[in-house]
Structure 1
Amino acid sequence: MTETFFTDLLIIGAGPAGYTAAIYGARANLKPTLLTGLQPGGQLTITNDVENYPGFAEAIQGPWLMEQMASQAKNVGANIVMDSIAECSLLNPSKDDGYFTFHTDLGNIYKARTAIIATGAQARWLGLEAEERLQGYGVSACATCDGFFYRGKKVAVIGGGNTAVEEALYLTNHASHVTLIHRRDSLRAEKIQQDRLLANPKISVIWDTVVEDILSGGNPAAVTSLALKNVKTNETSTLEIDGVFIAIGHTPNTSFFKNQIQLDDEGYIITTPGTPNTSIPGIFAAGDVQDKHYRQAITAAGSGCMAALEAERYIASMK
């Protein structure tokens, strides 16, 4: 049976941005409701060791960190609901007594005075079975998150755009050698980034090549090498490495908001620089759904705090 719920603040997404927004929203007495979506905890739920989140001297587990954030949000009064957005109406809240309307997969309706979109982004993968099996055991999509674990080791980066080149350059701060593997014979990255990469003695490039498989060994299984194939000659080879970073881009989770809120060419929500403000007053965005540059748990949490503070001010102005 369909039910309709009213709230001053609806938060969509249960990653660091969403949970932080819920904590601040609850402490501001907005009685926020948070819809977790299909993957509560976001990308940290598939991250094993987290060493760069402040406050923990030793490495912690990503899923545990998200459980703690969820518990903290509940303890301060946030209402956390296991449900996902199916469709929404953001364009004319004045026609509905000032409420934005959201329909969920469970068939319920949420009417919110203000909302924070924190649905995150998903890394694009190669589609290999080994990618999922070896995530956290040598397969990563974030060099700044996991590069520290490869001090003095050999790693590979897959891709040819700005993200791949930036990841490769960053990894030279830790790895003994970085191999960039690209399926074409030229890079798509900015020229200045290409020049830096090609001039770096710790980086080599394998052109016209794709990864056919990620090989592993040991107990627990960890990445040991890549099975490669040259797309022009069909020649196969093996590259021994300790880790591989997939850098072929991210996809923001914004499909429900197309044609309703201003997005950039890649689908990220556009916010006013330095703020979580979107093109619609009363709708705010936080975390990776609007940040394609940093993509860190700590920056997502910070933007969730900003969004909640702005939502509080918006509600106050309405009253």
Structure 2
Amino acid sequence: MDNTYDLIIIGGGPAGLTAGIYGGRAKLKTLIINKGTIGGMVDNTREIVNYPGYINVSGPDLMSDFKKHAESFGVEFLKDEVVSTDFSQDLKKVMTKKKKELFAKAVIIAAGNEPRLLNIPGEKELRGNGVAYCATCDAEFFEGEDVVVVGSGDQAIEEGMFITKFARKVTVIVLHDEGVLDCNKVSAEKAFQNEKMEFVWNSTIEEVLGDENVVGVKIKNLRTGTSSTLECQGVFFFVGMIPATHFLKDSSIEMDHRGYIPVNDLMETNLSGVYAVGDNRVKYLRQVVSAAGDGAVAAVAAERYIEELESFQNNIMNSDKKVLLVFFNASNTESLEFSALMEELCQEHSQEYKLVKVDMATKKNLAEKYEVTNAPAVVMLEKGVKIKQLQCCMDKASLAIQL
């Protein structure tokens, strides 16, 4: 069907686009759903100088290259917003704001996260033109300039100190009384000792000033109610990040208290066939290069999952015979010998049984489905339903009795 895919990727940032490249190259029918501009937060980055192979490139240009690469492998794109999902069946269901119902054998969640906004005048208008949310991404582009940092938590103070490596001066706007920061004590002490950092206490920012680029900020003193203007060329907001995972509220996907998705080294979530990559997952480094790595891993894992799913349907569910699932470990001699013995036995009972060999290293989903933890093991199925598990031994006659 037109609305059914092998792989649906929710999000068109670097993680989602890389997953699309790998999915398309694997000949999977792949769809990327993106609600905004392709590239996510990267689209707001003026220059990127730490992505391998690009000495200096803008965020939009780099993401354009990612998109072209994905399109060259036949990846489809849909500009829409995912509002709900149903991952309870083998064929996952995705519903969009434009009332589309889409289905896929596997889904990769690459929705990213977004900075918590103060929604003050000038903030959105000057984003990418002096307004920034990532010091690692943008600090060096304010070499020798004056920068304002909004926030006093760990991220704000630590990122602010990083910005001082480039900026002439960093002014931190703090809600609290003088000397009170929300960050840890060690970072606070270092910040107070940093000659390039200054603090404006009991204050908040009311407006970002500028037409095409930031030229200053309007600051309000919370004690006196008076406002003042501070000239600067950059404003970094560090008042928190929000994972864009609100649409997963009723999906049974496991998330932490902040809304980030924990995954394993294959980017697998707690639900089979559903993966999470990039900034919306629990991770240490949120950069373009690490997001791309996530996308590659998830797409390869999804490809193998889909192969396993199709194999299960073709070889097990559609079989008119009972199926003997023989789980083996390719690196274990005894396991391989047992597997060969089961092949002989199944040939002798070929009218009644069909043998399907399962390598525990590559088809772990089947092992989990039938609660097999060690190889060798044999599970008897009828139309995918487990009848019993055989006691493994190297005696063909004893095995035959169990059939």
TM-score under structure 2 length normalisation = 0.72
The correspondence for 2:197, drawn from 203, 218, 224, is: 203
Asked if structure 1 preserves the Cα contact closer than 8 Å seen for 2:80 and 2:98, the reply is: yes
1:37-56 Cα distance to aligned partner (Å, 9 max, x none): 23432122233333332222
- Aligned with 2:170 (options 168, 178, 187): 178
CA contact (8 A) 1:13 1:36 kept: yes
1:223 to 214, 228, 239: 214
Question: Taking structure 1 as reference, are residues 191 and 233 closer, same or farther at Cα in structure 2, changes over 3 Å only?
Answer: same
Superposed CA RMSD? 1.9
Relative to structure 2, which stretch is displaced further, 160-169 or 236-245? 236-245
Per-residue deviation, 1:25: 0.9
**Percent identity (aligned):** 36
* Separation in structure 2 between the aligned mates of residue 195 and residue 312 of structure 1, nearest angstrom: 50
1:34 is aligned with what amino acid? I
Partners of 2:135 and 2:163 within 8 A in 1 = yes
The one of 63, 67, 71 equivalent to 1:70 is: 67
2:208 corresponds in structure 1 to 214
3-state SS, counterpart of residue 26 of structure 1: helix
Judged with a 3 Å threshold, the aligned counterparts in structure 2 of structure 1 residues 214 and 86 are, in CA distance, closer, same or farther, namely: closer
In structure 2, the partner of 1:134 is 126
The yes-or-no answer on 1:16 pairing with 2:14 is yes
Residues 4 and 108 of structure 1 are in contact (CA less than 8 Å); yes or no, is this contact kept in structure 2? Answer: no
Name which of structure 1's ranges 111-120 and 41-50 shifts more when overlaid on structure 2.
41-50
1:213 is paired with a residue of what secondary structure? strand
Partner of 2:35: helix, strand, or coil? coil
Among 187, 193, 196, the alignment partner of 1:193 is: 187
The number of residues matched between the two structures is 307
Helix, strand or coil at the partner of 1:49: coil
Aligned counterparts of 2:106 and 2:186: Cα–Cα separation in 1: 42
Q: Unpaired runs of 5+ in structure 1?
A: none
Match of 1:252 in 2: 243
Give 1:117 deviation, angstroms: 0.2
For residues 255-290 of structure 1, the C-alpha deviation after alignment (integer angstroms, 9 at most, x for no partner) is: 111242111111111223x44121212110111111
Aligned-pair distance for 1:189?
A: 1.7
Moved over 4 A (4+): none
8 A Cα contact 1:83 1:104, kept in partner: yes
Matched to 1:317, the amino acid is: E
Q: 1: distance between equivalents of 2:23 and 2:290?
A: 18
Question: Is contact 1:4-1:111 (8 Å) kept?
Answer: no
Change in 2 beyond 3 A, CA 1:6/1:75:
same
Distance 1:196 1:293, change over 3 A: farther
Give 1:268's match in structure 2, choosing from 244, 250, 260. 260
Matches within 5 A, 1:5-154: 5-57=3-55, 59-90=56-87, 92-93=88-89, 98-154=90-146
Distance 1:264 1:301, change over 3 A: same
SS at match of 1:131: coil
In structure 2, runs of 5+ residues without a counterpart are: 312-403
**1:135-166 deviations in whole A, cap 9, x for unaligned?**
22221111111101111222111011121112
Return the alpha-carbon distance in structure 2 between the equivalents of residues 7 and 38 of structure 1.
21
| Alignment partners' CA distance in 2, 1:278 and 1:284 | 5
3-state SS in 1 of match to 2:93 = strand
What is the TM-score of this pair, normalised by structure 1? 0.89
Deviation at 1:239, TM superposition (A): 2.1
Three-state SS of the structure 1 residue aligned to 2:3 is strand
Supply the AA of the counterpart residue of 2:256: D
**1:254·1:268 contact (CA, 8 Å) conserved in 2?**
yes
- Larger radius of gyration, structure 1 or 2? 2
The superposition leaves residues 227-278 of structure 1 with CA deviations (integer Å, 9 ceiling, x where unpaired) of 2111012233222222110111111111111242111111111223x44121
Change in 2 beyond 3 A, CA 1:206/1:283: same
How many Å apart are 1:106 and its aligned residue?
Answer: 2.8
Shift of 1:62: 2.1
Distance 1:165-1:22 versus aligned 2 partners, 3 A rule: same
1:267 and 1:112 mapped to 2: Cα distance?
24
> Equivalents in 1 of 2:248, 2:275: separation in Å?
12
Q: CA deviation at 1:291?
A: 4.7
